[in-house]
Amino acid sequence: MFRKISAKSQIFENVRNNHEIVYNNFVKFAESLSFNQGITKKKSGKATSYARYLIRLVIFYEEIFENKIIKLDTYTALHQLEEVERLPDFKEYNQSEGRFPSAALGCFKAYIVAEHMNQEEITDSELNRNLNEWAAVNSKYLLIREGEDLVKGPKKRATPVKSKAGMSYPRNIAESIEAKRKSEYKCEIDLLHETFINSTDNNPYVEAHHLVPMAAQGYFENTIDFADNIVTLCPNCHRKIHYALPKEKAEMLEFLYANREKVYSRYRIEVDKKMLMNFYGIIKADSNSL
C-alpha cells in the first residue's frame, strides 16, 4: 500500500487536479507559515513538498479505504487522513520519507483551523462584547446563575448557527463567566498584568479566550465550549495569542496548556500539545529535523 509516488505520475496528477484549489491555497498557506517561522529562507521548496505529501496521503486513503475524498478542506477529510496516519505501516513509510508525511498532516491541521479562524474570531469578539453587556445587566444575578447550565463532562457539540461572519459554533456565555470567576478576573499569563476596572461589573477587565480555539470545534465531536477550556487574558495578552510571532505564541501556549492538559480527558476531548500548536499554526521545529 505505502510506496513512493512520483509527482509526475498519472495518479498524482489526477488527484491533485481534483483538489486543485485546495492544493494551491495550501501551498500558499504553508509558504506563509514556514516563512513566519524561519523554517526556510527559500520560499517555495518545503511548502510544495508538504502539499505533495498531502496529495499522496489522499491517494493512500482512497486506495486503502476504498472511499473517495470529495472535499479536501474539511474536518471530515482531515479525520480520514488521520486514519492513514494510524495504520501500522505508516510509521515506516513516514521514516523512509524523512517524516514529511506527518509534517504535511500537521501543517494541514493548521490550514483547516486557519480556514475557520476568521469567522470564529468575529464571533469571539462578539462574545466578549456580549459578555460585557450581559455583565452590566445581570451582575446582580450572577450568584444565582452560578453553576447553572455549565458543562461538567462530555457533551455533544452544538450545531453551528448563522452569524454575521458565516456559520459558527454558538458559545455559552455562562461558561466564560465561570472561567473569569475561576481565574478571579486575572490574566492567566501573569497574575500581575494590570488592566482597569470594568465599569459594568466593577471587576478587573479581562477577556475570555478558548484555548483549544473554537475554530477547531469541527474537529471534535464533543463540545470545547466549557469553562476549563477558556482562559482569561488581559487585552494585550489576548491580542498577542492571536497575532504574535509563532515563537511567542508557542511560549504562551506551552504555559497555558501545562495548567490545563489534564482537564480535557474529563470532557473526552483528545488533544495534545502538538495538536494544540498545530491549531495555532505552529508546526514544531522537530518536523523540520528531516
Half-sphere exposure of 176 (CA within 13 A, CB side): 24
**To the nearest whole angstrom, how small is the minimum distance from the Cβ of residue 252 to Zn ion?**
9
Which of 83/126 has CB closer to Zn ion? 126
In the complex, what is the shortest distance from the CB of residue 125 to Zn ion, in angstroms, rounded to a whole number? 8
* Closest to 65 in 3D by CA, of 46, 45, 87: 87
Q: Give the residue with the Cβ less far from Zn ion, 91 or 193.
A: 193
Which of residues 143 and 192 has its CB atom nearest to Zn ion in the complex?
192
CA 82, CA 76: separation in Å to the nearest integer? 10
CB of 116 to Zn ion, least distance (A): 13
Closest contact distance (angstroms) between CB of 52 and Zn ion is 33
* Nearest residue to 109 via CA among 264, 232, 280: 280
How many angstroms separate the first and last alpha carbons of the chain? 23
- Across-strand partners of 210? 230
Closest contact distance (angstroms) between CB of 263 and Zn ion is: 18
Spatial contact of 1 and 60, defined as CB atoms under 8 Å apart: yes
Q: How far is the CB of 230 from Zn ion (least distance, A)?
A: 9
> Residue 85 or 121: which CB sits closer to Zn ion?
121
Is the CB of 25 or the CB of 163 nearer to Zn ion?
163
Measured from the CB atom, is 101 or 204 closer to Zn ion?
204
Residue 69 or residue 237: which is nearer to Zn ion going by CB?
237
Binding site for Zn ion (CB under 5 A): 124, 187, 189, 193, 209, 234, 237
Closest CB 185 distance from Zn ion, rounded Å: 12
C-alpha cell at 206: 479581562
Nearer to Zn ion, 16 or 209 (CB): 209
Which positions ≥6 away from 39 have C-beta within 8 Å? 33, 46, 283, 285, 288
Q: How many CB atoms lie within 10 A of CB 98?
A: 12
CA-CA distance, 173 to 171, in Å (whole number)?
6
CB of 120 to Zn ion, least distance (A): 9
Lookup: cell for 9: 505520475
